[in-house]
Amino acid sequence: MDIKILKKRLDKADEIALHHGFRFEEIPTAYTNKNTPLHPEEKHHVLKTYGKMSGKGANSQPLMLYFDRPILINKKQIPNLKTHKVLSLDIIGVQNSIAEAMLINTASKILSEEGYKNFFIDINCTGDKDSLNKFIEEVGNYYKKHSGSFNCSCKYKIDKKNFLATSCENENCRELIENAPRPINYLTEKSRQHFKEVLEYLEDMRLPYRINSDLVVEDNHYSKTVFEIKTLGEDSTELILARGGRYDDVVNKIIGKRNLPAVGLSMIYKKNGFTPAYSNKINTPQIFLIQFGFKAKLKSFEVIDILRRQKITVHQKLYKNKLSDQFISAKKTRVPYMIIIGQKEALEDEVIFKNTHNVSYEIVKINKLPQYLKKIKFV
C-alpha cells in the first residue's frame, strides 16, 4: 500500500517533506501587485484552504501541509520554476516550539540535499500581545523623549504596526534608531521560554544561527517567532532562501478561529538540477515513532532521516508530549512495529525497536538501525 499523492512526479524536496510528516495540498493561486517572493500574506491563503478542510477532520488534530507552487503571483515577478524551487511548509494546530524546529529541520534537509552547505538562520522574537503592548508603550516614550534630537528633515516616525525603521543617512538619526527599544527586550516569561526552546533546538541540531533583533516582516504578519534561512552569494551578499514564523495572531482574522496556533515557512531557491525522489510511490508507514522528552524529540529527527535514506516512512506525532497520547495514536494505526525513544535512549544514542504483534523488543544503536532492519528483513 502507498501513500496517496496528488502529484505525478516527485522530486527530492517532495520526498523529504513527505517523510517528515507533511502532506501535499494544492493551494489556489492569487494575483497581487505586491513584491511576492516569500511574502507572508501567502499564509492568508493557507488558512483559507485550512478553513475549507475543516470538515475533513482539520479541527480534531494538527495538520502538516506542504505545497510547491507560488501562492501569490505578481505578473512582473513570476519565478522561473525550471531554475528555481518554490515550496511552503505549514503546521497548523501546534503551540509548542517543536513546530518551529520541525519546519526548520525539514527545510535544512531539503537545502542540504540541493547542495547548499553554508546556510545559516537569522531569528527574532517579537513576543505575544502582552509583550508587544509593553514594547509599543516603551518605544513610543523613547521617540517622544528624543523627538527634538532629530537634526534633519526626515522627522523619523516608528510604525507601531510594522515596527519597521525608516532609513535615514543622517548619522545622528541612525544612532537614535539603533539605540531604540527592540521587541525582543520586552518579552513576557511565556514568550521568552518559547523562544529559548526554539534556540535550544537549533543548537542541538547544529544549525548556525544569529539573533537579529531588527528582523521583522511587513504588516507584522508573523509575530512571536520570525526567522530567515540565508546563504552568502558570490559577492558575499546575503541571499534569503526561506522566510517563516508564527502567524497565530492572524488566524482569527482570516477564518474566525480563536486560539488556533499556526507556523509556516516559505522557500525559494535556485535548483542545482532536478533531483528525483527515489520513487514516485511512498510506502504507507509500518513503524510508529514514539518519543518522550526534549532530547528524544531531537533524536527523532535523526532517526527519521536515517529511515528516509532507507526508503522507510514512519508515523510520528513529534508535537505530542504525552506517551499515552502517542501510544493511543499508534494503536489506531495498527502498525506492526514501534520505535521508542526516551530520555535514556536519547542520551545513549539508542532506540527501542518493538514488535507489536509478539511484544518483543530490542535495543538498537541509532547508527546501526540500517543493519538491524536488514537483519530482521524489514528492508
Structure-block grid coordinates of residue 238: 546575503
Query: 285-375 in CATH: which number?
Result: 3.40.50.800
pLDDT band at 250 (very low <50, low <70, confident <90, very high): confident
Taken in order 239, 245, 250, 255, is the CA torsion positive or negative?
Answer: positive
Domain ranges of the chain: 2-127+188-270, 129-185, 285-375
Strands 314-316 and 2-3: unpaired
pTM of the model: 0.89
User: Does position 142 have pLDDT exceeding 60, yes or no?
Assistant: yes
The DSSP secondary structure of 158-220, one letter per residue, reads: --TTT-PPPP---HHHHHHHHTS--GGGG--HHHHHHHHHHHHHHHHTT--EEE-TT---GGG
Which residue shows C-alpha cell 507552487? 69
Three-class secondary structure of residue 291 per DSSP: strand
pLDDT of amino acid 166:
52
Superfamily assignment of 2-127+188-270 in CATH? Bira Bifunctional Protein; Domain 2 (3.30.930.10)
Tell me phi and psi for residue 227, to 5 degrees.
-150, 160
CA distance 226 to 215: 7
- What does the pLDDT look like over 207-240, one tens digit per residue? 999 999 888 876 667 878 999 999 988 888 899 9
Residue 65 DSSP class: E
